[in-house]
Amino acid sequence: MPTEPRDADALPFEGMDAPVKKRRSRKATQPAEPKTRAVSTDPARERVRPIPDPVTLHSHGPARVLALCNQKGGVGKTTSTINLGAALAEFGRRVLLVDFDPQGALSVGLGVYPHQLDMTIYNALMERRTNGDDVLLKTGVAGMDLLPSNIDLSAAEVQLVNEVAREQALARVLGPLLPRYDYVLIDCQPSLGLLTINALTAAHGVIVPLECEFFSLRGVALLLDTIEKVQERLNPELRVEGILATMYDARTLHAREVFSRVVDAFGDTVFQTVIARTVRFPETTVAGEPITSWAPQSPGATAYRDLAREVLARS
């Protein structure tokens, strides 16, 4: 799996200035040698190949655990967790979503009000007598369950520091649940702290949602470095399942260039499915349901179904 390059000098945007810088340098040195390749056609469209139809399952489990992780905020981790989960459930997979962000956005996105909950993933992590089943909720999507969270989880980050095997706390909670599910998707918070390390320790694969703009690329090297450390020290099975381009706007040259650079650097690790920028996603958060049921025929719903096919084909 090509997860190189890892150091900041070899980032995929090397030779590509930030938009502001680029404008300045152009003025100063007219006529300018273009530093970026002109991407006149849509590079995302050019990569599209047929994805096989998922096979029908006659039995379930054990689950493959995928963490949706990027320490940058607002890149589409939660949106992708909900909608990939719902699309996998449509394909007959049993799915467990884990809200592993104290903000509780995943829970809210599924119509659960986190501040009204007595028990959350925090209790299962920290109390020896509480297990995952005590916390588990059904969602409005058939075949998809939720381990919710709320602000209590922020205390776990501090309290876990003094625990034995503090990085394995989530893996211990998930272990007994895995035989019942086909996929467990963990929605990480935007940091590389102890909660995220717990998610990476419990996971088989990492999906990295990446917004197609210059500044999103900067954190990727650090994230890959963290994944490599977890691989070496805690979880040798961990791999990068795929990089997912989100909030993609094919009309802007910048987004096309960034996408092209990411593909040059990471090759087939980048999912061919890209998630376009559309106002339908913020709408679904208000509605408290996935786009696959809120707007089943929309391009956003189709994209997450395509992503689900790709994820199934890769596993």
Ligand X SMILES: Nc1ncnc2c1ncn2[C@@H]1O[C@H](COP(=O)(O)OP(=O)(O)OP(=O)(O)O)[C@@H](O)[C@H]1O
Q: Least distance in Å: CB of 163 to ligand X?
A: 25
| Part of the chain binding ligand X (CB under 6 A), chosen from 59-67, 69-77, 161-169, 252-260 | 69-77
Residue 275 in the binding site for ligand X (CB under 6 A)? yes
Minimum distance from residue 306 beta carbon to ligand X (Å): 14
148 binds, among Mg ion, ligand X, none (CB under 5 to 8 A by kind): none
Segment lying near ligand X (by CB under 6 A), choices 6-14, 72-80, 162-170, 254-262: 72-80
CA angle 311, 302, 13 (to 5 degrees): 65
Bridge-based pairing state of the strands 95-100 and 239-248 = unpaired
Please pick, from the candidates 105, 173, 184, 265, the single residue that binds ligand X as defined by CB under 6 A.
105
Spatial CB neighbours of 303, under 8 Å, sequence gap ≥ 6: 273, 274, 275, 276
Q: How far is the CB of 259 from Mg ion (least distance, A)?
A: 22
- Binds ligand X by CB under 6 A, chosen from 73, 111, 140, 267: 73
Region near Mg ion per CB under 5 A, out of 70-78, 108-116, 153-161, 247-255: 70-78
CA dihedral 224, 228, 230, 236 (to 10 degrees): 130
Q: Of residues 2, 74, 111, 299, which one binds ligand X by CB under 6 A? A: 74
Give the Cα-Cα-Cα angle 162, 164, 168 (nearest 5 degrees).
Answer: 110
Helix 220-233 and helix 194-202, axial crossing angle in degrees, nearest 10: 60
> What does the block give as tokens for 21?
């810088």
Q: How many Cα neighbours within 13 Å face the side chain of 173?
A: 31
Partner whose footprint covers residue 246, from Mg ion, ligand X, none (CB < 5 to 8 Å by kind): ligand X
Q: Which two tokens stand for residue 171?
A: 């893996």
Give kind and range of the element (H or E) at residue 162.
none
> Distance between CA 85 and CA 170 in Å, rounded?
19
Q: Which does 75 bind (CB under 5 to 8 A by kind): Mg ion, ligand X, none?
A: ligand X
Segment lying near Mg ion (by CB under 5 A), choices 10-18, 21-29, 36-44, 100-108: 100-108
292 counts as binding ligand X under rule CB under 6 A: no
State the nearest-atom distance from the C-beta of 105 to Mg ion, in Å: 5
Q: Which is nearer to ligand X, 78 or 168 (CB)?
A: 78
How far apart (Å, rounded) are the C-alpha atoms in residues 77 and 71?
Answer: 10
C-alpha–C-alpha distance, residues 314 and 301, integer Å: 20
- Report the residue from 16, 44, 88, 105 that binds Mg ion according to the rule CB under 5 A: 105
d(CA 309, CA 55): 10
Which residues in this chain contact Mg ion in the complex, by CB under 5 A?
77-78, 105
- Residues forming contacts to ligand X in the complex (CB under 6 A) are 73-79, 101, 105, 190, 246-247, 275, 277-278, 281-282, 285
